[in-house]
Amino acid sequence: MNISILGTGQVGATLGKALAAKDYPITYGTRTPDSDRVSDLLADTHPLAQAMSTTDAVAWGDLIIIALGAAAALEVVPTLDLAGKLVADATNNVGWDNGPIMGIETSMGEVLAASQPNAWWVKCFNTMGIEHVLDPQFGDRKAEMLICGDSPEAKAAIGNVCQHLGFVPVDVGSIRYARQLEHLAILWIQMATQAGLGRNFVFGTLRK
C-alpha cells in the first residue's frame, strides 16, 4: 500500500518514519519538495522515501494521510482530487484560552469528509502525542488507536495499518464521532500541558 503523507511538520515526519520502519512505501506531499529541510527528512525516513507536490503525492498514494495544520487542511483538502482514495485525517483544530479549546464548532473530521464525499475517510492518529506512533507499547499493553468513519472497509484497512504500527485499533463509530475524538485530543493536550502529566501517556479502556 503506497502511503502519501500531506505535511512535513512534526506529525507528517513522525508518521513517515514510523510507517517506513514497517516497510510501507512513503511519499511526502509538500510545498517544498526540493528544499534542504525535506531532503534531510527523506534521509531520516527511508532510502526509498520520496517527496512531491501535494497534487502528485495524492495521485501516487493509495492511502493519503492528512497531517496539515487545521487552517491549511481546510484550505487545501477541498482542492485535491481524493475521489476513491482511502484518507486518514490526523488533524486537530486547537484554539487557546487559558488552556486548549476546540477551534471549530463541529469537527475537522466531519468538515473535511463533507468536502470530499467520494473519498473513504477515517479519523485516526489525532488523540495522542504523535511520538507514540514510534513506540505504542506501554508496559505489557499496546496503546489503543481510536478511529471513526462511515466506511467499515476503510476503517478495517486503516485499522490494519495501525495494527502494523503496534496499536490495537478501536472503531468508535461513524464520522460524527470525530467531534468526540477531537475533544479527546483537547483533553490530552490539557492534561499534558496544564494538568502536569507530560506527554508520556495515552488514553485506554479498561475492561472486565
Ligand X SMILES: NC(=O)c1ccc[n+]([C@@H]2O[C@H](COP(=O)([O-])OP(=O)(O)OC[C@H]3O[C@@H](n4cnc5c(N)ncnc54)[C@H](OP(=O)(O)O)[C@@H]3O)[C@@H](O)[C@H]2O)c1
| Residue span binding ligand X (CB under 6 A) among the ranges 126-134, 136-144, 152-160, 164-172 | 126-134
| Residue span binding ligand X (CB under 6 A) among the ranges 15-23, 62-70, 80-88, 96-104 | 62-70
Q: In angstroms, what CA-CA distances link 29 with 9, 117, 157?
A: 11, 21, 21
Helical spans, DSSP H, in the chain: 10-21, 36-45, 54-60, 70-76, 108-115, 152-165, 178-193
26 is a site residue for ligand X (CB under 6 A): no
Minimum separation from the CB atom of position 151 to ligand X (A): 21
Minimum separation from the CB atom of position 32 to ligand X (A): 6
**Residue linked to cell 514510523:** 18
Query: CB–CB of 45/26 below 8 Å?
Result: yes
Rank residues 13 and 119 by Cβ distance to ligand X and give the closer one: 13
187 is a site residue for ligand X (CB under 6 A): no
Q: Which of 129, 136, 149, 169 binds ligand X (CB under 6 A)?
A: 129
For residue 33, the tally of other CB atoms under 10 A from its CB is 19
Query: CB–CB of 102/133 below 8 Å?
Result: no
Question: b/e for 60-88, b at 16 or more Cβ within 10 A?
Answer: bbebbbbbbbbebbbebbeebebeebbbb
Rank residues 90 and 178 by Cβ distance to ligand X and give the closer one: 90
Q: Hey, which residues between 92 and 111 contact ligand X (CB under 6 A)?
A: 92, 94
76 is a site residue for ligand X (CB under 6 A): yes
Rank residues 137 and 152 by Cβ distance to ligand X and give the closer one: 137
Q: Which residues bind ligand X (CB under 6 A)?
A: 7-12, 30-32, 67-70, 72, 75-76, 90-92, 94, 125-126, 129-130
